[in-house]
Amino acid sequence: MSASPRLAWELIERIISESGDDTETIYSLSLTCRQLRPRSLCHMVADVDIRTRKQVTAFRDFLEAYPQFCHFVCSIRADPTTFMPFPLLNILPNVISIEWSASMREYHRVGLSLPLRVLTCYHKFGTNVTSLSLYSLSFKTWQELCRVLLAFTAVKELRCEGLEVESRAINGAALEQRLRSQGLKLRTINIADGVPEAVTKLLFELAQSTVERLALHVYNITSLSSDLLCEKWPELLTLTLNLKVFPRSNGDDNGIEASIIILKGFRPPRLDEVTVEIQSTVGNLLLWIGSDERNLHLCSELDQTLLSYRRPQLLPFGHRRTRSWRKGLWSEELGQYFPRLRERGSLQFASSADIALGHDELVTSLVYCPDGSRLATASMDCTIILWNSDGQLVHEWVAHTRAVYSLAFSPDSRHLASGYADGKIAVWDVSQGAQKIATLEGHTKLVNHCAWSPDGTLIASASRDKTVRLWDTPTFQQLHLLKVSTNDFVPVVYFSSNGRWLVSPSSRRCYVWDIASGAMYKDFCIAEGDDNGDQAVIDEENEEDEDVGTWCCATALNLQGTRFATGYPGGSVRIWDAQTGQCLVVSRMHMDRVFRVAFSLDGARLLSTAWDGTAKIWDASSGAMILSLEGHTEGIRAACFSPCGKYIASASFDKTERLWRTEDGSCMGTFSEHKAWVMHIAFSTDGKTLSSGAHDGTVVIRHMGLL
């Protein structure tokens, strides 16, 4: 960009400042305009992460070549065993924050013991460091920990997480006494998970007279809570209690009860703001609340106890961020259990800056209704969202206390079935809003997949409890329990187009059931055989020992119900006669694990995608490869034909989707709205829209006419 930008420079400066913690954005800005590059580079060096000695040397050489950047370095994250403070701290006058964390290869293996000359350098040149974070470190002795604390005389903020002290040597007493006499002028202490009680007590003793902000991770009631309650804490203004909840556990296991006891007895004179952060996923919290009546009582007691402080705050999901427009959803759902806090506006949720629509966690299912008017998506965050054909959110709701794993529309598009992690299936009337009309119970484990029969009178479900069940939709009663003949669960179920057969593949065998009688019609092996493509014959008693590499990992049934396709970890694809179980085609064109296979609507072509980043189009009759679609830089997680058969859409771990012509394999477009792995992709039944769902919960709906 040679001319001055159209936006005011003040606005551009503000954008750069707001994006200072997003290196990718800053880098993009620096490439956009040469006039922006100096300011962008300054932000890019403000927060430095260096882990190896090679990186330390390279960073030093960079600063020697461009000394003007020395003044912009404010924060350093490093492994203390590889980062030498001299001469770097000597030439970085504005470093105020240091974060130490061991690399994974060193954690819990070698006790940290820094040479005296290194600690002396920190003491001499680190006088401006006011914030120190110690993460995932193992100190060799108690003495080593004291030395580190003595090296940073100006620290006002200390954060600790995942610390270990291998031994508390007797010769450390002198240093500990020196530390006690010198004291720490800390204003903020944040003690997270995995910090020994002895370290916490020491910090309390050293700084309790000066600390203004205290954050503490609470597991359960120990002597630590008694020590906390007995101290005066004359300067303390804010207290944050962090805790976890675990499904099916009572209050003693997760810190809720301990937090209530602390809050009832802890009354420093200046304490004004109290926050409780529950570090939990949506599903874990909802499941814990509903698992025991005592837990409901604890929620009510916490609700009341927090209100005894002038500025209370409850963060049910901790710092786990939710999309800003979903705050109302979670406030309404959790406000049932914390009504007083909600009424006062103290039930809070951390907001995400991501303005994209969607869920807060992984999208687990994405399906269009048969008439193409609506899209339904489900997520690990226990919610279901309905979207209209224009891509607008129509309705969203918390469907269960467990993750929603599968969705299926009825043939008339009026009803939606959803399968959950606890084995239950709900049926919703979605003609107006979402009203639950039935709950189907029988499975004992996660429901992987559910499907409606073509005439809408049956629902089939497959579960990790290694059963397939048929449900009668007029009565919502179980009609048949279909048990597989091997010790293997069935991940998916398919109805034939005439409604006569139910095809249920596992990773090793394929089961074809007669729907009317519930009897097994055919049972054939689909596990891969030898390199010559011979069909494997597996001794059922020894199936558990069979090589995982031979198992089927992707399946599809054509619309006509005559052909069945399978994909394998080794990269091969097979096509079977669904009625006889005869293997018709064996092909090995992929170089890695096959993720997905799918037939075109007319059944003439087969699509396969793999970890090797390619998608292949096959002739479903001969098995001859027609085209190889190449362009993704990582594995292709999902792909599908358009209803007209002229296009293919693919979704990849490279965070993009692509649209291809089936005629010549040319790529019509690459879409990169998602910022995470793209897990699902589908065309509407009329082919007018293309939708995708990602690992971070985002959902994107595109109009094909605008592509």
The more confidently predicted of residues 168 and 156 is: 156
Q: How far apart are CA 448 and CA 16, in angstroms?
A: 45
Which of the listed ranges 19-23, 584-588, 695-699 does the model predict with the highest average pLDDT? Answer: 695-699
Query: Stretch 471-499: mean pLDDT, rounded?
Result: 89
Structure tokens at 396: 């969203």
Residues whose CB falls within 8 Å of the CB of residue 216, separated by 6 or more in sequence, listed in order: 191, 200, 228, 239, 240, 241, 242
Q: What is the pLDDT of residue 490?
A: 87
Task: Give the pLDDT mean for 192-212.
Answer: 87
Q: What is the pLDDT of residue 69?
A: 87
- Looking at residue 319, what is its pLDDT? 82
How much is the pLDDT for 544?
40
pLDDT at 255 over 50: yes
d(CA 427, CA 473): 9
**Three-state DSSP string of 453-499:** CCCCCEEEEEECCCEEEEEECCCCEEEEEEECCCCCCCCCCEECCCC
Q: What is the pLDDT of residue 251?
A: 45
Q: Which of 453, 406, 450, 475 is nearest to 467 (CA)?
A: 450
Cβ neighbourhood burial of 229 (10 Å; 0-12, 13-18, 19+): middle
What order of strands is seen across the sheet that includes strand 458-463? Answer: 447-452, 458-463, 467-472, 477-483
**β-bridge mates for residue 658, sequence order:** 650, 670
pLDDT beyond 90 at 290: no
The total number of residues written for the chain in this structure: 707
Q: Is the pLDDT of residue 33 over 70?
A: no
What's the average model confidence in pLDDT over 218-225? 61
Q: At 536, is the pLDDT very low, low, confident or very high (cuts 50, 70, 90)?
A: very low
Q: Which of 154-168, 267-281, 525-539 has the highest mean pLDDT?
A: 267-281
**Alpha helices (H) along 528-629:** none
Greatest mean pLDDT range, 203-217, 401-415, 472-486: 401-415
Q: What is the mean pLDDT of residues 334-342?
A: 95
Say how many C-beta atoms besides its own lie within 10 A of residue 20's C-beta. Answer: 15
Task: Report the alpha-carbon distance of residue 299 to residue 640 in Å, rounded.
Answer: 46
The pLDDT, as a whole number, for residue 39 is 58
Residue 220 has a pLDDT of 45
pLDDT for 629-677, tens place per residue?
A: 999 999 999 999 999 999 999 999 999 999 999 999 999 999 999 999 9
CA distances for 475 relative to 364, 439, 513, angstroms: 28, 11, 22
Cα 23 from Cα 11, distance rounded (Å): 19
Kindly report the number of other CB atoms within 10 A of residue 321's CB atom.
Answer: 14
Cis preceding-peptide flag for 87 (omega within 30 of 0): yes
How many CB atoms within 10 Å of residue 474? 8
Helix, coil or strand: residue 605: strand
How does DSSP assign 269-323, residue by residue? TT--EEEEEEE--HHHHHHHHHH-HHHHHHHHHHHHHHTTSSEEEEETTTT--EE
What residue type is 240 in one-letter code?
T
When pLDDT is cut at 50, 70 and 90, the band that residue 107 belongs to is very low
C-alpha dihedral sign at 36, 37, 38, 42: positive
Helix axes 23-32, 9-18, angle to 10 degrees: 150
Terminal Cα distance for the chain, rounded: 27
Winning range, highest mean pLDDT, from 207-211, 285-289, 427-431, 559-563: 427-431
Specify the pLDDT at position 663. 93
pLDDT of residue 488: 78
Select, from the ranges 44-48, 147-151, 364-368, 553-557, the one with the highest average predicted confidence (pLDDT): 364-368
Q: What is the pLDDT of residue 494?
A: 95
Percent of the chain with pLDDT over 90: 53
> Which range has the top average pLDDT, 93-102, 343-352, 636-645?
636-645
* pLDDT computed for residue 532 by the predictor: 37
| pLDDT band at residue 110 using 50, 70 and 90 as cut-offs | low
CA torsion angle 587 593 599 605 (round to 10)? -40
Closest CA to 506 of 442, 578, 554, 542: 554
CB 417, CB 429: distance < 8 Å: no
Which pLDDT belongs to residue 38? Answer: 61
Q: How far is CA 245 from CA 79, 220, 238, 298, 403, in A?
A: 31, 11, 23, 12, 16
Taking residues 393-419, what's their average pLDDT?
Answer: 95
Q: What is the mean pLDDT of residues 600-612?
A: 95
Is the pLDDT assigned to residue 366 strictly greater than 50? yes
pLDDT at site 30 = 59
Please report, for residues 314, 335, 383, 398, the alpha-carbon distance to residue 331 in angstroms, rounded to integers and kept in the order given.
11, 5, 14, 12
- Is residue 106 very low, low, confident or very high in pLDDT (cuts 50, 70, 90)? very low
Looking at residues 299-321, what average pLDDT do you find? 93
The answer to which of 164-173, 554-563, 623-632, 672-681 has the lowest mean pLDDT is: 164-173
- What is the rounded distance in angstroms from the CA atom of residue 681 to the CA atom of residue 637? 9
Mean of all residue pLDDT scores within the chain = 86
Lowest mean pLDDT among 367-376, 416-425, 462-471, 516-525: 516-525
Q: What is the mean pLDDT of residues 42-59?
A: 83
Q: In the structure, what pLDDT confidence band is assigned to residue 531 with cuts at 50, 70 and 90?
A: very low
Most confident region among 218-222, 238-242, 244-248, 540-544 by mean pLDDT: 238-242
CA distance linking residue 405 with residue 382, whole number of Å:
9
Q: Is residue 44 a contact partner of residue 26, using CB atoms and an 8 Å limit?
A: yes
Distance CA 527, CA 469 (A): 23
